[in-house]
A = this chain, B = another copy of it.
Amino acid sequence: MYLTQPLHKARRECPQGIFSIHGDRRQSNETFVSRVELLAGGLRGLGLVPGARVGMLAHNSDRFLEYIYATLWAGGVLNPVNTRWSAREIAYSLDDSDTQILIVDDSFAPMVETLRALCNVPLTIIRLDKTPVAEAVDYETLIAETQPLADEIRQGTDLAAILYTGGTTGAPKGVMLSHGNLVADALALTAAADHGKDAPGLHIAPLFHVGGLAAVWQFALRRAPQVTTSHYDPGEALRLIEREAIGDIFVVPVMLRWLVDHPDIATRDLSSLRSIRYGAAPMDITLLRRAMDVFPQAGFLQVYGQTECAPVVTTLAPQDHVADPDAAQMRSAGRPISTAEIKIVNETGKEVAQGMVGEIVVRGPTVMLGYWNKPEETQAALKDGWMHTGDAGRFDENGFLYVVDRVKDMIISGGENVYSIEVENVLSKYPGVSLCAVIGVPDAEWGERVHAAILPNEGVLLSPEVLDAHCRSQIAGYKVPRSYEFVSEMPLSAAGKIVKKDLRAQYLAAIKQDA
């Protein structure tokens, strides 16, 4: 199983079919694969040997797709750089993975000099657009002045990508995913639920993120033309869904909110959309129900996973998105996909009794090869082939997995364990709550104390009193937040997750100022 196989198929089966659409640029299968062969030849000319890394620091476009496929075609390994990171963080990932070739677009060309200064590795820069960059190779010149390269056709166990995890705690780690990992994920996810078939798929999530990247393989497996847009703009996304008759999208919850809140939602023809896949962050159930009303013809598929699992571990299938808002399964992450075996274990690695909470560990063909150059962290995460996710969860008797918390986000208050997601689920049900996050903050008496940050809907006024009464009616007293802060904006990661460490830092800074 190798990731470039769909290109061979596309060119043979349907050379004039459309592979990619970016703005008004539509590339046929034949054109796209020819450019991949040439770009692969160009990369080889710049010294890319099989197994070596190539980075991309750019917004989404069909050129990003060319980079992905040409790197793999030449036998190389992807390092698609997180565009929201600082230059220092990016330089860390380039040095750590020994990425010597980096493609940049206009938006990031100005960062090149800083990166060169920060990096220990010598960087060969390929310039995608027009902004001049010193000693850079022009992307189109590279393609024009080279010979096509034959596909190296990698094995399933060969390394395909090093993806740096968000680094919410500690130094970022390079997750090593193989060709086999990523093909297995794409097959299993495509098999998991009805989808848009060969209708075009729209990339909304950034392609450097594992969720966006995984969609590339899914679309390719089912011959869906790949539609890209450089920035996430909900109005533009709605326009593209109508214009290209998009069959599938993958969104993080905050993107879905922007989509359903957009004024054009009522006037665009969105009937082509067959599947809306969402994940990477907990979904507010009220938002989900609104979206289900807005897109009645689309199946909603929740995906839960992590980069280390390439990435999907469980899915909540469309038929499990039931109308009853109190149905327990709607709070679950769904059931394990066909390739993921899941065990719930305690601190000593022993499997807990059915229904009990413990760490979620995963075994199967999508589990990463390991962390790049981090044998100790790899050994800690991968024990006997089981990926230790760091998330806490439990199974119900029907095999639905409930993710109760990131283990490290668990709040221990007065000896009682509080899983913040449980409190967040309660808070998010209260009318007027747009986003919320529950964290543990230091408390002299109880060790940690439950604290809630709340982003109200525009124009809504909320008080600690009403939220307190609401929570007390739903959950045990020790789980109810002891303090609230009302924010005008939540710190979000590139993947749309609330960055709790930033919330904690804000809280501590505010305390200090008060003292």
Q: How many copies does the complex hold?
A: 2
**Per-residue B-contact encoding for A324-336, CB less than 8 Å = 1, 0 else:** 0000000000011
Q: How many whole Å from A429's CB to the nearest CB in chain B? A: 28
B338 touches A12 (CB 8 A): no
Among A9, A197, A336, max chain B CB count under 10 A is at: A9
A190 touches B (CB below 8 Å)? yes
| Contact among B16, B222, B341 for A9, CB-based, below 8 A | B341
Q: Quick check: is A390 within 8 A (CB to CB) of the other chain?
A: no
Q: In the assembled complex, which residues on chain B have CB atoms less than 8 Å from the CB atom of A354? A: 15
A364 interface neighbour in B5, B16, B397, Cβ under 8 Å: B5
A92 to B365, CA, bound (A): 37
Quick check: A341 and B8 within 8 Å, CB to CB?
Answer: yes
Residue A169 CB within 8 A of the other chain: no
B190/A336 in contact, CB under 8 A: no
- Annotate A190-203 by CB proximity to B: 1 below 8 A, 0 otherwise: 11001001000000
Among A132-156, those with CB < 8 Å from B are: 156
Q: Which residues of B contact A6 (CB under 8 A)?
A: 338
- A188 on the interface (CB 8 Å rule)? yes
The residues in A between 180 and 213 inclusive whose CB is less than 8 angstroms from any CB of B are 184, 187-188, 190-191, 194, 197
A13 to B: closest C-beta gap in Å: 3
- Expressed in whole angstroms, the Cα–Cα distance for A397 and B29 within the complex equals 13
A1 in contact with B184 given A354-B15, A397-B16 (CB within 8 Å):
yes
* Set of chain B residues within 8 Å of A342, measured between Cβ atoms: 9, 12-13
8 A Cβ contacts from A327-357 to B: 335-336, 338-343, 354
Count chain B CB atoms within 10 A of each CB in A8, A191, A197, A335 and give the residue with the most. Answer: A191
List of B residues within 8 angstroms of A187 by Cβ? 184, 187-188, 191, 338-339
Per the bound structure, the CA–CA distance linking A222 and B317 in Å amounts to 12
In the bound complex, what is the Cα–Cα distance between A17 and B336 (angstroms)? 15
- Chain B residues, CB < 8 A from A399: 12-14, 17, 223
Determine if A463 is an interface residue (Cβ-Cβ < 8 Å): no
Separation in Å of the A484 CB from the closest CB of chain B? 38
Within the complex, the shortest CB–CB distance from A187 to chain B, in Å, comes to: 4
Rounded to whole angstroms, the CA-CA distance of A184 and B339 in the bound complex is 11
Give Cα A341–Cα B1 distance, bound, in whole angstroms. Answer: 11
Q: Which residues of chain B come closer than 8 Å to A15, judged between CB atoms?
A: 354
A319 within 8 A of B: yes
The reply on A267 being an interface residue by CB < 8 A is no
- Measured in the bound complex, the distance between the Cα atoms of B339 and A395 in whole Å is 33
Give chain B residues whose Cβ lies under 8 Å from the Cβ of A14: 397-399
362-402 of chain A: CB within 8 A of chain B? 364-365, 395, 397-399
Residue of B nearest to A318 (CB): B197
Most chain B CB within 10 A, of A14, A188, A317, is at: A14
Is B336 a contact of A221 with CB atoms below 8 Å? no
Q: Across the interface, which residues of B come within 8 angstroms of A365, CB to CB? A: 1, 156
How many Å lie between the Cα of A188 and that of B218 in the bound state? 12
Contact with B along A159-176 (1 / 0, CB 8 A): 000000000000000000
Interface set, chain A 2-46, CB cutoff 8 A to B: 5-6, 8-9, 12-17
CA distance A397 to B13 in the complex (A): 7
Nearest CB in chain B: distance from A223 CB, A: 8
From known contacts A5-B341, A191-B191, A364-B5, infer whether A336 and B197 are also in contact, taking CB-CB under 8 Å: no
In the assembled complex, the Cα of A74 lies from the Cα of B345 at a distance in Å of 26
Task: Give Cα distance in the complex from A338 to B340, angstroms.
Answer: 20
Asked, given contacts A191-B191, A341-B8, whether A13 binds B395 with beta carbons under 8 Å apart, the answer is yes
In the complex the two chains form, what is the Cα distance from A69 to B237 in whole Å?
47
Interface contact A190-B222, CB-CB below 8 Å: no
Can you list 15 residue pairs at the A/B interface with Cβ under 8 Å? A1-B184, A12-B341, A12-B342, A13-B335, A13-B336, A15-B354, A16-B397, A17-B398, A156-B365, A184-B187, A187-B191, A187-B338, A187-B339, A221-B338, A223-B399
Ranked 7 nearest A-B pairs via Cβ: A13-B399, A190-B191, A14-B399, A187-B187, A221-B338, A191-B191, A1-B365
